[in-house]
Structure 1
Amino acid sequence: MRFVIIGAGRVGLRTARVVRDEGHEVSLIERDDRRIRRARNQEFTVVEGDGSREAVLEEAGVTQADAVGALTGDLNVNFTACMIASHYGCRTVMRIDEAYREGIYREYADQVDEVVYPERLGAIGAKNAMLGGTIRAIADIAPSLQVVELTITDSAPVNGYTISELQLPADATVLAFGKRDQPLGIPNADLTLEDGDRLVVLTDFDVLSEVRQLLVGETAGRADANAGTDSVTTEFDTDTDTGGVN
């Protein structure tokens, strides 16, 4: 997949590292010279300019992008960028500050695909919002443990199994289960795993690849490439990211 991220501060740059490590293409938009140098030193493609301007977004590749993450500390820049990206058919993810959470959510949530509060969610949350899809990291419990939510697909080897028939690796445990479009709850041994159902699993990173293959149906190569790359810090410094105007 191809992503454009606006803002190369700590929120944007860490999110860019996560999605790049998972094998996706990413370009950044930033106007601060220091942040541009830092991102380019990490071998990211960076377009210098105001992320709320269409010409700058086009230079960064919005016309071919699958998703745009407007992750600056400037709400106006983020919202404008999302509206432009939506015009090009991109999935749109808009960062808001914690202080503005409730009011901004009510006003803008229906106009973008997802609103994120990186001070709470960290890079994992921002990456999940951009990817969408069938795998969602929820939390890093310890250096070797992660809680993940996985959505059963048609290609999953366990599709059609009951919960009681599901055999995960020894270092993985099912914490919760939810049928498609229903709330998560305590797993019922007699329920059948079907396309769209969700499982929340506590897993060791050593067996995360195997868990992905069983529950989502990823190929071994893709599961190996993805497994373990979500283990990043879930705290962000509260600096002001400036992918657009100050």
Structure 2
Amino acid sequence: MRFVIIGAGRVGLRTARVLRDEGHEVTLVERDEPRVQRARNEAFTVVEGDGSREHFLEEAGIAEADALGALTGDLNVNFTACMIAKHYGCRTVMRIDEAYREEIYRKYADEVDEVIYPERLGAIGAKNALLGGTIRAIADIEQHLQVVELTITDAAPVNGYTISELELPADSRVLAFGKHDGELELPGEDESLEVGDRVVVLADFEVLSDIRQLLVGESASQAVANAGSGSGGVN
């Protein structure tokens, strides 16, 4: 596939490396000369210029590209680049860097194919590392919703239950289930919950602590602290 990446900073260049390593064709657009040189030193094709200007995007091959990633630290540049790319039929991914607010996401989410917040994605990884092996945050869906993967422990109250017997809080649902030695699949009602099994749940932050108590067996105080007590995001 062919990709145009706007911005050769930390996020843009790392993304370009991953795409190239997977065999894709990548062209970067960057206006900062030292960043341009650094990317060229890594043998990337770089168009030196403003990614929000159509003629620079045309020079980068936007007409033939499958997707554009607008990954600079400038929201206006990113949004403009995505709107131009949409005109050429590209999939568009836009980075936002401001303090995460739901209204920012909602403002742009309908205009581009995907909005990403790199600092938030990095925070999810950091939180997973801190929490250890039984609980793993997968994604923030909205400001108040999160997808989490939890591993059943011998202390879990639901240990030995079947999926049909599992009663989660109202603002949550099971998305997938996997035995400790198997892959995640759609949950079957007769599947039994045993130590080491994994359950993927979509839940409101307000009920995450309750879910952790059920599936992992944390105490109420531990569950509240680890779930962020409905703090609205990954800490």
Global fold match (TM > 0.5): yes
Cα deviation code 1:94-128 (max 9, x no counterpart)? 00014144221111100100000011225xx9xxx
Change (3 A) 1:190 1:60: farther
Shift of 1:190: 7.1
Change (3 A) 1:2 1:147: farther
Cα deviation code 1:65-103 (max 9, x no counterpart)? 000000000000000000000000000000001414422
Change (3 A) 1:101 1:38: farther
Q: Normalising to structure 2: TM-score of the pair? A: 0.55
Using the alignment, how far apart are the partners of 2:75 and 2:6 within structure 1?
12
Tell me the residue number matched to 2:96.
Answer: 96
Contact 1:69–1:94, Cα closer than 8 Å, also in 2:
yes
Using the alignment, how far apart are the partners of 1:62 and 1:118 within structure 2?
24
Tell me the residue number matched to 1:66.
Answer: 66
Change (3 A) 1:140 1:21: farther
Contact 1:140–1:147, Cα closer than 8 Å, also in 2:
no
Shift of 1:147: 10
Q: Normalising to structure 1: TM-score of the pair? A: 0.53
Q: Secondary structure of the residue that 2:188 maps to in structure 1?
A: coil
Q: Secondary structure of the residue that 1:5 maps to in structure 2?
A: strand
Using the alignment, how far apart are the partners of 1:93 and 1:59 within structure 2?
19
Using the alignment, how far apart are the partners of 1:20 and 1:121 within structure 2?
21
Cα deviation code 1:13-42 (max 9, x no counterpart)? 000011111111000000111111111111
Tell me the residue number matched to 1:26.
Answer: 26
* Runs (4+) off by over 3 Å: 139-142
Contact 1:73–1:95, Cα closer than 8 Å, also in 2:
yes
Using the alignment, how far apart are the partners of 2:129 and 2:4 within structure 1?
26
Q: Secondary structure of the residue that 2:20 maps to in structure 1?
A: helix
1:157-172 aligned at under 5 Å gives the runs none
Amino acid corresponding to residue 76 of structure 1 in structure 2: N
Change (3 A) 1:15 1:172: farther
Tell me the residue number matched to 2:35.
Answer: 35
Cα deviation code 1:140-195 (max 9, x no counterpart)? 999xxx999xxxxxxxxxxxxxxxxxxx9xx9642x434xxxxxxxx32879xxxx
Amino acid corresponding to residue 15 of structure 2 in structure 1: T
